[in-house]
Structure 1
Amino acid sequence: MLTFPVTDPMMKFFVVLAIILIAPIVMGKLRIPHIAGMVLAGMLVGPYGLNILAKDGSFDLFAHVGLIYLMFLAGLEMNMGNFRKNRVGTFTLGIMAFVIPMVMGIVVNTTVLRYGWLTSILLASMYASHTLIAYPIILRYGLSSQRSVTIAVGATAITDTLTLLVLAMVGGYFKGDITGEFWLMLFLKVAAVFFVIIYFFPRVTRYFFHHYEDNVNQFIFVLALTFLGAIMMELIGMEGLLGAFLVGLVINRYVPNVSPLMNHLEFVGNALFIPYFLIGVGMLVNVNLLFGGVETLHVAAVMIVMALSSKWIASLVTQKLLGMRPLERNMIFGLSTAQAGATLAAVLVGYSLFLPNGQRLLNDDVLNGTVILILVTCVFSSFCTESASKRMALEKKSAMPKEEVGDDEKIMISMKYPETAGLLMEVANLMRNRTLNRGVVALNVVYDDEKRLYYQERGRQLLDHITKEANAIGLMVQSQVRVATNITNGIKHAFKEFNASEIIMGMHMRKDTSKTFWGKFIQGIFWGLNRQVIIVESFRPLNTLRCIQVAVPSRAEFEPGFYRWLERLSRMAENLECRVRFHCRVETQALIQEYIKKRHPEVRAEYQLMAHWNELPRLAREVADDHMFVVITARKGTISYKSALERLPDELTQYYQGKNLMIIFPDQYGAPMMTMAEPQHTEDKSAYAVIGGWFMKSAMGKYIQKHVK
Structure 2
Amino acid sequence: MDTILHELSEHFQLPFHNPVLIFSIILFIILLAPVLLNRIRIPGIIGLIVSGIIIGPEGFNILEKSLFVDVFSTIGLLYIMFIAGLELDLNEFKATKNKSIIFGLLTFSIPLGIGFPVCYYILDFNFNASLLTASMFATHTLVTYPIVSKLGVSKNIAVAITVGGTILTDTAVLILLAVILGSHSGGLTQEFWIRLGISLLLFSAFMFFIIPKIAKWFFRTLESEKHSHYIFVLSVVFFSAFLAELAGLESIIGAFVAGLALNKLIPHSSALMNRIEFIGNSLFIPFFLISVGMVVDVKVILSGPMAIIIAGTLTIVAITGKWTAAWITQLIFGFSRGQRKLIFGLSSAHAAATLAVILVGYNAGILSANILNGTVVLILITCIVASFATESASKIIIRDMDENEETLTITGNTEQILIPIANMTNIEKILEFAILIKDKKSAMPLSLLTVVPNTLEAEKNIMKAKLELEKFIKETTASETDATIMATIDYNAASGISRTAKEIMADLILLGWPQKTGFLDKLIGDKMESILENTEKTLFICQFENPLINHKRLFVIVPPIAEFEEGFEMWLNKLAKLAIEISIPITLNCTDDTHKAILRFFKTQKLSLNIQFNRFYEWEDFLILSRQFLDTDLIVLVSSRKGYVSHFGQLDRIPAKLEKHFPAISKMVFYPR
Answer whether TM exceeds 0.5 for this pair: yes
AA aligned opposite 2:21: M
Match of 2:29 among 15, 19, 22: 19
Match of 1:59 among 30, 50, 69: 69
DSSP-derived class of the 1:173 partner: helix
Q: CA deviation at 1:453?
A: 4.8
DSSP-derived class of the 1:630 partner: strand
Look up the match of 1:626: 632
Q: CA deviation at 1:565?
A: 2.0
Evaluate the alpha carbon distance shift between residue 31 and residue 642 of structure 1 in structure 2; reply closer, same or farther with a 3 A threshold. closer
Contact 2:405 2:605 (8 Å CA) reproduced:
no
Match of 1:31 among 21, 31, 41: 41
Look up the match of 2:466: 460
Evaluate the alpha carbon distance shift between residue 340 and residue 408 of structure 1 in structure 2; reply closer, same or farther with a 3 A threshold. closer
- Does 2:199 align with 1:189? yes
Q: CA–CA distance in 2 between the matches of 1:93 and 1:158?
A: 9
- Map Cα deviations across residues 404-442 of structure 1 (whole Å, 9 max, x no partner): 899974211112333322222222222222234433221
Contact 2:631 2:665 (8 Å CA) reproduced:
yes
Q: CA deviation at 1:343?
A: 1.2
- Map Cα deviations across residues 377-418 of structure 1 (whole Å, 9 max, x no partner): 111111221222222222122223387899974211112333
Runs of 4 or more, structure 1, over 4 Å off, are: 402-408, 510-520
- Does 2:297 align with 1:286? yes
Evaluate the alpha carbon distance shift between residue 597 and residue 391 of structure 1 in structure 2; reply closer, same or farther with a 3 A threshold. closer
Q: CA–CA distance in 1 between the matches of 2:467 and 2:387?
A: 46
Look up the match of 2:377: 372
Look up the match of 2:582: 576
Match of 1:474 among 450, 470, 480: 480
Higher deviation after alignment, 180-189 or 520-529:
520-529
Higher deviation after alignment, 63-72 or 303-312:
303-312
- Map Cα deviations across residues 114-139 of structure 1 (whole Å, 9 max, x no partner): 22111111111111111010111101
Q: Please, what is the CA RMSD of the aligned residues?
A: 2.4
- Does 2:328 align with 1:314? no
Of structures 1 and 2, the larger Rg is shown by 1
Q: CA–CA distance in 1 between the matches of 2:495 and 2:137?
A: 69
- Map Cα deviations across residues 57-104 of structure 1 (whole Å, 9 max, x no partner): 011000011001101111111111222222222112211111122222
Matches within 5 A, 1:38-437: 38-213=48-223, 214-353=225-364, 360-401=365-406, 409-437=415-443
DSSP-derived class of the 1:590 partner: helix
AA aligned opposite 2:398: A
Q: CA–CA distance in 2 between the matches of 1:512 and 1:553?
A: 23
Q: CA–CA distance in 1 between the matches of 2:276 and 2:361?
A: 35
DSSP-derived class of the 2:546 partner: coil
DSSP-derived class of the 2:259 partner: helix
Q: CA–CA distance in 2 between the matches of 1:156 and 1:136?
A: 15
Q: CA–CA distance in 2 between the matches of 1:587 and 1:389?
A: 37
Contact 2:410 2:570 (8 Å CA) reproduced:
no
Look up the match of 1:615: 621
AA aligned opposite 1:293: G
AA aligned opposite 2:74: H
Q: CA–CA distance in 2 between the matches of 1:319 and 1:254?
A: 33
Q: CA deviation at 1:533?
A: 1.8
Q: CA–CA distance in 1 between the matches of 2:518 and 2:462?
A: 22
Q: CA–CA distance in 2 between the matches of 1:612 and 1:265?
A: 46
**Where do 5+ consecutive residues of structure 1 fail to align?**
354-359, 668-709
Q: CA deviation at 1:514?
A: 13
Look up the match of 1:587: 593
Q: CA deviation at 1:37?
A: 0.8
- Does 2:671 align with 1:665? yes
Q: CA deviation at 1:461?
A: 2.5
Evaluate the alpha carbon distance shift between residue 43 and residue 294 of structure 1 in structure 2; reply closer, same or farther with a 3 A threshold. same
Look up the match of 2:5: none
Contact 2:406 2:605 (8 Å CA) reproduced:
no
DSSP-derived class of the 1:422 partner: helix
Look up the match of 1:682: none
Evaluate the alpha carbon distance shift between residue 257 and residue 109 of structure 1 in structure 2; reply closer, same or farther with a 3 A threshold. same
Percent of matched pairs sharing the same residue:
33
Higher deviation after alignment, 634-643 or 96-105:
634-643
Q: CA–CA distance in 2 between the matches of 1:26 and 1:555?
A: 57
Look up the match of 1:508: 514
AA aligned opposite 1:219: Y
Q: CA–CA distance in 1 between the matches of 2:587 and 2:578?
A: 13
Q: CA deviation at 1:578?
A: 1.4
Evaluate the alpha carbon distance shift between residue 10 and residue 144 of structure 1 in structure 2; reply closer, same or farther with a 3 A threshold. same
Contact 1:570 1:600 (8 Å CA) reproduced:
no
Contact 2:540 2:669 (8 Å CA) reproduced:
yes
| Alignment coverage as a number of residue pairs | 661
Contact 1:168 1:237 (8 Å CA) reproduced:
no
Q: CA–CA distance in 2 between the matches of 1:641 and 1:388?
A: 47
Higher deviation after alignment, 548-557 or 229-238:
548-557
Q: CA deviation at 1:44?
A: 1.1
Q: CA–CA distance in 2 between the matches of 1:438 and 1:183?
A: 58
Q: CA–CA distance in 1 between the matches of 2:23 and 2:616?
A: 63
Higher deviation after alignment, 490-499 or 559-568:
559-568
Higher deviation after alignment, 61-70 or 145-154:
145-154
Evaluate the alpha carbon distance shift between residue 262 and residue 456 of structure 1 in structure 2; reply closer, same or farther with a 3 A threshold. same
Q: CA deviation at 1:445?
A: 1.6
Evaluate the alpha carbon distance shift between residue 563 and residue 368 of structure 1 in structure 2; reply closer, same or farther with a 3 A threshold. closer
Evaluate the alpha carbon distance shift between residue 95 and residue 512 of structure 1 in structure 2; reply closer, same or farther with a 3 A threshold. closer
AA aligned opposite 1:125: S
Q: CA–CA distance in 2 between the matches of 1:364 and 1:331?
A: 33
Evaluate the alpha carbon distance shift between residue 561 and residue 513 of structure 1 in structure 2; reply closer, same or farther with a 3 A threshold. closer
Q: CA–CA distance in 1 between the matches of 2:136 and 2:414?
A: 55
Evaluate the alpha carbon distance shift between residue 10 and residue 447 of structure 1 in structure 2; reply closer, same or farther with a 3 A threshold. farther
- Does 2:508 align with 1:534? no
Contact 1:130 1:342 (8 Å CA) reproduced:
yes
Q: CA–CA distance in 2 between the matches of 1:562 and 1:324?
A: 31
Q: CA–CA distance in 1 between the matches of 2:67 and 2:161?
A: 35
- Map Cα deviations across residues 260-312 of structure 1 (whole Å, 9 max, x no partner): 11111111111011000000111111222222233322222221122112212
Q: CA–CA distance in 2 between the matches of 1:223 and 1:165?
A: 27
DSSP-derived class of the 1:344 partner: helix
Evaluate the alpha carbon distance shift between residue 275 and residue 451 of structure 1 in structure 2; reply closer, same or farther with a 3 A threshold. same
DSSP-derived class of the 2:556 partner: strand
Q: CA–CA distance in 2 between the matches of 1:319 and 1:512?
A: 58
Contact 1:633 1:664 (8 Å CA) reproduced:
yes
Q: CA–CA distance in 1 between the matches of 2:520 and 2:491?
A: 18
AA aligned opposite 2:355: L
Look up the match of 1:641: 647
DSSP-derived class of the 1:560 partner: coil
- Does 2:566 align with 1:560? yes
Q: CA–CA distance in 1 between the matches of 2:412 and 2:134?
A: 59
User: Could you state the TM-score of these two structures normalised by the residue count of structure 2?
Assistant: 0.93
Higher deviation after alignment, 371-380 or 171-180:
171-180
Contact 1:617 1:655 (8 Å CA) reproduced:
no
Q: CA–CA distance in 2 between the matches of 1:67 and 1:578?
A: 29
AA aligned opposite 1:540: N
